[in-house]
Structure 1
Amino acid sequence: MAALLLLLLLLCLCLLSLIAAASPRVPALIVFGDSTVDAGNNNQIQTVLKSNFRPYGRDFPGGRPTGRFCNGRLSTDFISEALGLPPLVPAYLDPAYSIKDFAKGVCFASAGTGLDNATSDVLSVIPLWKEVEYFKEYQRRLIKYAGKAEAKRIVDEAVYIISIGTNDFLENYYLLVTGRRQQFTVDQFEDFLIDRAAEFLTAIYRLGARKISFAGLGAIGCVPLERTTNLLNGGGCMEEYNKVARDFNVKLQALIGRLDAKLPGLRLRYAPVYDGLLRIIADPSSYGIENVDEGCCGTGRFEMGILCREWSPLTAACKDADKYIFWDSFHPTEKINRLMAEETLRTSLAEFI
């Protein structure tokens, strides 16, 4: 009898451990930002900036393009899976998903957008203020689906990922499209963007966001497109742009400190993307990387979006994207997204899980 009771106890303990392992660490993952985290929202709007065609998605489950600017999954997909949530974070505008799916994770991001509203105008994508409006709409839908109390719990306890800012410089300020370069020095423009970030963060805080990871800018001068424009100087990283990223990141970290002190209950953390990416660029062989200069798609020098499409064997993507840091001339491969997700989980998200 004692042996039977012991066996039952062990079985109960095993069952409890399995339930605990299967339980998500947070109720939902909520994502704002640009193409680094856009899961396909741009598919549903009138813009040329799309990636819902091959070879995008080549290494995605089922080999299908989803609108993610990658050969496979994004960092947010890997983070969601690590948190015990679904392995894909659905795009809010994707009609294939419902509020039942969005209750566990949702992406409001739009490729090509920025902190500056003028950035989203360049390629007619979703501005950041509209992402906030979608978040408000999402909450109304969530209340109808789960009830007011449960909807509040999901929003309050969710983890928020924000990845934005690169386009404000590379697509806006340095392309002279919006006139910001005539209006601001680069230092002033950084301050302008920090003010916009403060407004955005305060807005989502008032809507219930508390556990927030804000990714700093990466080494934007090292993306293949910028190396291509720097060919006259040997095709190396554009140090001017990398310095801008470092300076902006210092100001972003200062903002995070100010808002953390000002807004009760806010737990806003900085994700050190720049350092993580630079480590891989500096020592690629340690990560099984063979090419840091070019993207996997086509020549790897300038292809992105529609230019990355497989029109002929001459424009085909490389055979093994895992040997590359960049998938196209602007965006990382799935392998790098996974590594950056692991970095984010170790740093800015560590205390939330």
Structure 2
Amino acid sequence: MANSLSIPLILIISQLYLQIWFLKIDAKVTSIIVFGDSTVDSGNNNYLPTILKSNFMPYGRDFDGGKPTGRFSNGRIPTDFISEAFGLKETVPAYSDPAYNISDFATGVCFASAGTGYDNLTSRVLNVMPLWKELEKYKEYRKRLKGYLGTNKAEEILTHALYIISMGTNDFLENYYLLPHRQLQYTVEEYQNFLTGIARTFIKQIYKLGARKISLTGLPPMGCLPLERTTNFLFGRDCIQKYNNVAKDFNNKLQALVSTLSKELYKLQLVFSNPYDILYEIIQKPESFGFENEAFACCGTGEFEMSYLCIELNPFTCRDANKYVFWDSFHPTEKTNAIMANYAVKTTLSVFQ
């Protein structure tokens, strides 16, 4: 009996194949408001002139009704599970989706854009929404919400909402290490400081607009993404440790930022949510979480396919995504998203219960 109780809750859930995804929390959170990149984009890129889209099969094949929504997964993404865990809705809709209106956005809304980053230059690579534009959309949403609910009720919701910020991977893998411009301007550490400064400014901006509960998400072990492992084929497709070290160093800077701003800004509840350790543990011990493949993705060959390279007609796409840690070469499966979100809810996000 004692041994069974010592098994981490996360393992128990994964071994039960997550039949009960979450126990709902008696939450004090009124809404989930999301900024970021493809890790949390629920479909805003569908309405942008970019090639970085996922509103076609097999994306979304395990989503409710088998619908490709623009989420870069076979099903739901972490913010969907977080919303459900806090007793809100099961999915957080994209602000740009015309199928939803302001009443739908009152308890959760997503402004994220796949392919974006803290750095404006990152968003230009694939012509997606920059962070400043996400902020402008949020300001527009605030006005609409006040018109719908009245100023007092709207401000109450916005003050008690949980603001989730999740981005940064694209700044390094899509921008710094791929293109020459930033490498000529900054060393890696200087670029990390540059991005941290942008994160600081953004947090202060939404704080001035009333945000008081904020979760700043760090980077995953980005050197272990299937696409990066594919480029490392000469070394047996191992994780690229250089990229993982950069992720850990940047996370340390974000953690320090959280500590500083928590002291500077009155009544701010700011937490650092770190996906690195839990995802790295899943990758290192996939069988402990019920996975069979951590190095290759489910979609296509599992080596490089993403977005339009990940199409329904690809004969190599796996049948059961729950056996895979990654859905495409860059993004986790729904099962992985659920495990990571549950971990965040039980740890850093527990202060908002």
TM-score (norm 2): 0.92
What corresponds to 1:329 in structure 2?
Answer: 329
1:25 is displaced (CA, Å) by: 3.8
Distance 1:333 1:242 in 2: 20
Structure with more helix by fraction: 1
Contact 2:82 2:345 in 1 (8 A): yes
1:295 alignment partner, SS class: coil
Aligned residues: CA RMSD: 1.2
Please, which of 114, 124, 129 is the counterpart of residue 127 of structure 2?
Answer: 124
Counterpart mapping for 1:162-181 below 5 A: 162-176=165-179, 179-181=181-183
Please give the secondary structure, in 2, of the residue aligned with 1:280.
helix
CA distance in 2, matches of 1:103, 1:210: 17
Q: Distance in 1 between matches of 2:252 and 2:99?
A: 40
Deviation at 1:182, TM superposition (A): 1.0
- 2-structure distance, mates of 1:330, 1:246: 18
Contact kept? 2:25, 2:85, Cα under 8 Å: no
Is contact 1:45–1:125 with CA below 8 Å preserved after alignment?
yes
* 1:140-151 matched pairs, under 5 angstroms: 140-151=143-154
Q: Tell me whether 1:96 sits opposite 2:99 in the alignment.
A: yes
The separation in 2 between residues aligned to 1:22 and 1:163, in whole angstroms, is 22
CA deviation map 1:86-125 (0-9, x unaligned): 1010000000000000000000000000000000000000
Tell me, yes or no, if structure 1 residue 66 matches structure 2 residue 76. Answer: no
CA contact (8 A) 2:60 2:71 kept: yes
In structure 2, C-alpha distance between the alignment counterparts of 1:263 and 1:125, rounded to whole Å: 31
CA distance in 2, matches of 1:141, 1:237: 45
Q: 2:138 aligned with 1:135, yes or no?
A: yes
* Counterpart residue number, 1:12: none
CA distance, structure 1, for counterparts of residue 209 and residue 256 of structure 2: 23
CA-to-partner distance for each residue in 1:120-155, whole Å, 9 max, x for gaps?
000000000011111100000000000000000000
Question: Which residue in the other structure is 1:235 paired with?
Answer: 237
Letter in 2 for 1:187: E
1:112–1:119 Cα contact (<8 Å) kept = yes
Larger radius of gyration: 1
Give the C-alpha shift of residue 210 in structure 1: 0.9
| Superposed displacement of residue 311, structure 1 | 2.8
Please give the secondary structure, in 2, of the residue aligned with 1:270: strand
AA of the residue aligned to 2:321:
A
Q: Which among 36, 40, 45 is matched to residue 42 of structure 1?
A: 45
Instruction: For 1:235, give the aligned amino acid.
Output: R
8 Å Cα contact 1:25-1:84 kept in structure 2: no
Tell me the CA shift for residue 79 of structure 1.
Answer: 0.7
Whole-angstrom distance in 2 between the partners of 1:224 and 1:281: 11
Q: Equivalent residue for 1:319?
A: 319
Q: Give the distance between the partners of 1:288 and 1:58, measured in 2 at CA.
A: 20
1:176-195 aligned at under 5 Å gives the runs: 176=179, 179-195=181-197
Give the corresponding residue for 2:220.
Answer: 218
2:118 is matched with: 115
Q: Following the alignment from structure 2 to structure 1, what is the Cα–Cα distance between the partners of residues 176 and 190?
A: 11
8 Å CA contact 1:50–1:67 kept in 2: the answer is yes
Q: How many residues align structurally?
A: 330
**Is it true that 1:282 corresponds to 2:280 in the alignment?**
no
Out of 254, 257, 260, the position equivalent to 2:256 is 254
**In the alignment, which residue of structure 2 is the partner of 1:18?**
none
CA contact (8 A) 2:27 2:352 kept: no
Runs of 4+ displaced beyond 6 Å: none
SS of 2:296's partner is strand
- Aligned-partner residue type, residue 332 of structure 1: P
Offset at residue 300 of structure 1 (A): 0.3
Given the superposition, is the C-alpha separation of residues 104 and 302 from structure 1 closer, same or farther in structure 2, using an over 3 Å criterion?
same
Gaps of 5+ in 2: 1-23
- In structure 2, the residue matched to 1:8 is none
1:83 aligned residue: 86
Task: Give per-residue Cα distances to partners, 1:143-187, cap 9 Å, x unaligned.
Answer: 00000000000000001111100000000000015x101111111
Alignment partner, residue 33 of structure 1: 36
Provide the C-alpha distance between the structure 2 equivalents of 1:49 and 1:204, rounded to a whole number of angstroms: 27
Correspondence for 2:340? 340
Alpha-carbon separation, structure 2, partners of 1:39 and 1:123: 17
1:22 & 1:164 partners in 2: Cα distance? 26
How far apart, in 2, do the equivalents of 1:250 and 1:23 lie? 31
Change beyond 3 A, Cα 1:49–1:298: same
Shift of 1:347: 1.8
Does the 8 Å CA contact 2:221/2:247 hold for their aligned counterparts?
A: yes
| Residue identity in the other structure for 1:155 | L
